[in-house]
Amino acid sequence: MRVFVILPAAGLGTRMTAGHPSLAAPKQFLELAGVPILIHTLRAFAEVPQVAAMYVAVRASEIDRLTAQVRDYGFAGKVHVVEGGDNRQESVANALNAIECDPGDIILVHDAVRPLIDAATIERTIRAVEKHDAAIVGLPAVDTIKQVERTADGAIITSTIPREYIVQAQTPQGFRCHLLRRAFAEAAADEFVGTDEASLVERAGAQVAVVLGSPANFKITQPGDLELAEFYLQRQPAHH
Ligand code: C5P
């Protein structure tokens, strides 16, 4: 059993750069403690011995820049750069098509912009996939969750979802290769587009287990998040 990692990194990061024209680079290329965010992410997965290869999906215009970084940071041979698509699902599909995996191999998909993932959580996810065939990292909700209806006047609550039934989906999201391929094929046939891989696997009829995540594994999305990431990083310097 081998583990392959897909890192979708082809987003434009428009929420990050809105109103900040000086932040010219897409967010996955912004630096955290002097190192590009994506490199922190690659380092975390490179620490896990079962990982055989990593596939990063980026926009066509970023392929050269990333290929140079992969070389400069010593990942040549272990990291493959593929072209991303118009949405996250397409980016992951392109990477999935580039991987030659056996049915029982494991594929982990992880947001490039969650650089504070740690090796222990990655290893727990792999073990859960070995047991259940599908597992994602999730964070129990601490806030009370409301379902709302959007109106011209703003949001109106339609119901309260008991928070013990809620986890917030993080990544990595891991699956046996045969299951992920079937889920992607069925989604493509039905023109279903989801915001994570688990939603495709759920609709393919498989059960997906949840592994406990951590608040540090958050998605760098908006201005201010970089400072928050630096704060978490200072508390776990050994890993990065
Ligand atoms: O936009 P969002 O924050 O949900 O993006 C999650 C991840 O998916 C990011 O790492 C982003 O770069 C990636 N993505 C992608 N291709 C797209 C859109 C987003 O690889 N077309």
> Tokens 């046996």, residue?
176
**Maximum CA extent, the chain:** 54
- Is any atom of ligand 1 closer than 6 Å to the C-beta of 172? no
Structural tokens at position 213: 């995540």
- What ligand 1 atom has the least distance to the C-alpha of 195? 4
**Cα three-residue angle 107-110-116, rounded to 5 degrees:** 135
Structure confidence at residue 42 (pLDDT): 97
- Is any atom of ligand 1 closer than 6 Å to the C-beta of 112? yes
d(CA 113, CA 61): 18
Residues 6+ away with beta carbon under 8 Å from 92? 6, 8, 57, 109, 184, 197
Structure confidence at residue 132 (pLDDT): 98
170, HSE (Cβ side, Cα atoms, 13 Å): 26
- Is any atom of ligand 1 closer than 6 Å to the C-beta of 115? no
Structure confidence at residue 30 (pLDDT): 87
**CA dihedral defined by 168, 195, 193, 205, rounded to 10 degrees?**
-40
Q: Ligand 1: which of 29, 91, 173 to mutate, judged by most atoms within 8 Å of the beta carbon?
A: 91
Regions in the chain scoring below 50 on pLDDT: none
Q: What is the pLDDT of residues 97-113, one digit of tens each?
A: 999 999 999 999 999 99
Structure confidence at residue 23 (pLDDT): 55
Q: How far apart are the first and last CA of the chain?
A: 27
- Is any atom of ligand 1 closer than 6 Å to the C-beta of 191? no
> Tokens 């066509």, residue?
60
Structure confidence at residue 223 (pLDDT): 83
Structure confidence at residue 113 (pLDDT): 95
- Is any atom of ligand 1 closer than 6 Å to the C-beta of 111? yes
> What is the model's pTM?
0.93
Structure confidence at residue 98 (pLDDT): 97
Looking at domain 3-138+171-235, its CATH class is alpha beta
d(CA 62, CA 58): 6
